[in-house]
Amino acid sequence: LRTGVPEVVFGSGKSEAQLERAVQGLADQGASVLVTKLSPGQGEALHALFPEGKVHPQAGLFTLGADLSLTPPWPEQGEALVLSAGASDLPVALEAYATAQYFGLTAGLVSDVGVAGLHRLLPHLQACDQARVLIVVAGMEGALPSVVAGLTDKPVIAVPTSVGYGVSFQGVTALLGMLSSCAPGVAVVNIDNGFGAAAMARKLCHLKP
């Protein structure tokens, strides 16, 4: 693996024919397959083409030859622990959670621990300390990564989401907030880029000791 990360198909905007070719190509090499950012229609089309595969509609994912479980209750700890601020951030959190598993990491997922209700976050701090890397997903003001990074010594990969309205500006406000964070040990990926956070987590967890 030149880049240290297995190939993943980016589904958004691809035609049915393009998706089929990409999935078949990887399957022909004997690889398992993960496709991200699928619309419901694309998911159904892939399922019709590859009935042995599995669609995860809420997360916009399709998998073939990879056995990922996305249904709750999710394990609340793991090497890569995903923390998600609000219910609407869940699709992106699930993309990160599933991709981390696909990359061979043990992963956990804790949802609905946004900064406006800190009492929901505190019981999970111990799991944070046992993780190797935290993926923190948040929309709107995107403050959760700052708060988490101030409470733990683990590296935080921050994922802004396009959740919100008005001045949330499709995730730009959350992104800028995360980059401006005054807590040390936070680095940021593109808006809604759960995949990218998991790829970074994979590279981190494979660091030579």
Ligand X SMILES: Nc1ncnc2c1ncn2[C@@H]1O[C@H](COP(=O)(O)O)[C@@H](O)[C@H]1O
The count of other CB atoms within 10 Å of the CB of residue 88 is: 14
CB of 183 to a second copy, least distance (A): 4
Per rule CB under 8 A, is residue 167 in the interface with a second copy?
yes
Residue 200, interface with a second copy (CB under 8 A)?
A: yes
Residue 195 engages ligand X in binding (rule: CB under 6 A): yes
Map the footprint of ligand X across residues 57-86, applying CB under 6 A: 86
- The residues in 106-125 that bind ligand X, with binding defined as CB under 6 A, are none
Closest contact distance (angstroms) between CB of 137 and Mg ion is: 9
Pairing relationship of beta strands 33-36 and 61-64 according to DSSP bridges: antiparallel
Q: Does 87 bind ligand X (CB under 6 A)?
A: yes
Determine if 191 is a binding residue for a second copy (CB under 8 A): yes
At residue 107, the 3 state secondary structure works out as strand
Segment holding 84, helix H or strand E: strand 80-84
CA 186 to chain centre: 16
Q: At what angle do helices 90-102 and 194-205 cross, to 10 degrees?
A: 40
Q: At 16, which helix (H) or strand (E)?
A: helix 16-28
Tell which one of 138, 159, 189, 200 touches Mg ion (CB under 5 A): 138
Q: With CB under 8 A, what is the number of residues at the site for a second copy?
A: 81
Of 34, 35, 38, 85, the residue at the interface with Mg ion (CB under 5 A) is 85
